[in-house]
Amino acid sequence: MSDAHYLAIMRTMASTDADAIESASGGIGTALMRVGDILLRPNLSRWRFRMIIALAITVCAKGFSVVAPLYLGEAITRASTGEAEAVLVPLLSALSFFVVARFLASGLPQARDAIFAPVSQDAQRELAVSAFSKSQALSLGFHQTRRSGALQRIIERGGTAMDVILRFLVFNIAPTIIELALASIVLAATYSWVLSVIAIVTIIVYMAFTFIVSEWRAKQRRTLNKADTELRARAMDSLTNFETVKSFAAEGRETDSYNSAYKTYAEQYVETSRSLGLLNAGQELIMNLGLFAMLGWTGWKVANQELEVGALAAVFAMLLNLYRPLNILGWGWREIRQGVIDLEKVFGLMSMKPEVADADDASELSDATGAIEFRDVSFSHDGRVIGIENISFDLPSGKQLAIVGPSGAGKSTLLKLIFRFYDVNEGAVLFDGQDVRDLTQESLRQHLGIVPQDVVLFNDTIRQNILYGRPEATQSELEHAAQSAQLLEFIEALPDGWDTRVGERGLKLSGGEKQRVGLARVILKNPEVLLLDEATSALDSQTETLVQRAIHEASKGRTTVTVAHRLSTIMHADQIIVLSDGKVAERGDHESLLSENGLYADMWAKQVSRRELTEAEPAVAKGQE
């Protein structure tokens, strides 16, 4: 592969991976459109009536909030003029209307929140599940360059931001604008257009100041989010790999690293808090200047007897009602703007295209026999200029193929290409004579089972970890799989038996026990093709014997591809391929390769020599006693 071709591939991977998830969603307008699209999904259609009712309740509450001060002004005017007996009934009526209107203005939103709560939660779930599903659908290359803690935090913040945007946009921003418009009309019609002009100017200045400062703070929020993600991801990395940390006595280094990340986060949080204080102080100044202007003008008109005394109280009460939504408007805008920032990465994630995707006309693989063929396959990934080149082999159904070679020769890469975790750069991988790119990935992988060198288990019971191979399996099928994997006696001897929890990544089990759980899981799946990626290379000889016996049973009648380090485990393979520098250096069975006196024979001689030396050491030590 040429350097130019390699660089082009890497640029393509970068643009579809890191750049995409870091990209913005296109601004608040685009983000709100995406939120609207989520609300219009069929899964949320059952909530649309609730949405309409909740919005109607909100508008009614705003109407009561606007008219309540008028009744207060009328009550004060009645109380300041005339005889007590003459004004008692009108006064009580006006006060009653004022109290009822005030109660409805405050109480209706509580009913609205109760009605809308399931809508909000369902919308959060819809977004989070969509983002999680998208992350699951992305290719292996994406997940190899992402930290799980950071990805989880992106999805978590996106779900929270969805709730914030819904509540503030639907129940605060839009209704507040309606309330401000109604209040301005009422002020002009009831008292004077001057009051309406002052209110409108105050609102415009307030909104302009809020939007300008909020945009500035949005940049700070992005930086804060980046620091927050780094902090949580670093903590997750350290806690997940605690065994490595302890084995290298690196607790102090990890603590210093966490402390450094926390300092960066704290410094950015302080900057964000300071800018929030500036925003709040500016908003209060603008609102109080508007309050001074309106009350001053109204008081002057009352003093000149052009307005009744109740007008002063009514305008004051109306101003308080206006400024409360103005406060909410500023806060709501900040929350929405920050919510959009939190949604940016989620929408960036959901906009990503997987490096490996099913073709539009991909077919389902059925009635598989397990025949595998590589035709002049070349591939490179993960920053390697040299990958595999011109690999060809034909593995009939039910036969065993072994792949050996030095570290980095490309052995495990071949298994990933069979699974179609990557697409080849040149050539083709065929399964039962069909190019795997013409098959759906799900149907292809249903016929494949793998036991890797390091079996990773879920933090669940042994039962659930084995059932992961086929969730609908019966208890007798579970026991048969465990028996075939030389695991049943071990499970039955445990105090909690099948319900024993294996710990994070299976850390409560030994290496051999994890290998056998992984093998039992694959046996239960019952695939046509069994892939073994150095499944016994990290085990001691006694454990290897158990696992190798289980592998031998599991391989019967199945197409088997084994990546092996210990050549003694693949002596009986029908075909052995020796890789060197990404190319096929030798091929044949065990005996023919030994007779060639090439790379395989050299590897065999070294392993035999090491084994003889290891066996001789105890005898030498015994003789020296």
Mean pLDDT of 258-263: 89
pLDDT value at 455 more than 50: yes
Mean pLDDT of 206-212: 83
What CATH number does the domain located at 367-447+560-625 have? 3.40.50.300
Sole residue written with tokens 């204080």? 277
Taking CA atoms, 468 is separated from 215, 411, 473, in Å, by 48, 26, 10
Residue 166's nearest CA partner among 210, 119, 206 is 119
The boundaries of every CATH 1.20.1560.10 domain in the chain are 3-350
Strand-pair category, 575-580 with 434-435: unpaired
**Three-state secondary-structure class, residue 382:** coil
Q: Which of 56-70, 436-450, 588-602 comes out lowest in average pLDDT?
A: 56-70
Mean pLDDT of 327-332: 66
Residue 394, beta-bridge partner list: 373
**Three-state secondary-structure class, residue 381:** coil
Taking CA atoms, 222 is separated from 150, 153, 160, 217, 597, in Å, by 14, 14, 16, 9, 62
pTM of the prediction?
0.64
pLDDT value at 372 more than 90: yes
Query: What digits encode the pLDDT tens for the residues 95-126?
Result: 787 788 878 887 888 888 888 888 878 877 87
- Between these two residues, 624 and 70, which has the higher pLDDT value? 70
In the chain, what is the greatest distance between 2 CA atoms, to the nearest angstrom? 125
Q: Which CATH architecture has domain 3-350?
A: Up-down Bundle (1.20)
Which residue type, as a one-letter code, is found at position 510? S
The boundaries of every CATH 3.40.50.300 domain in the chain are 367-447+560-625
Q: What is the pLDDT of residue 19?
A: 42
**Three-state secondary-structure class, residue 486:** coil
Mean pLDDT of 394-404: 92
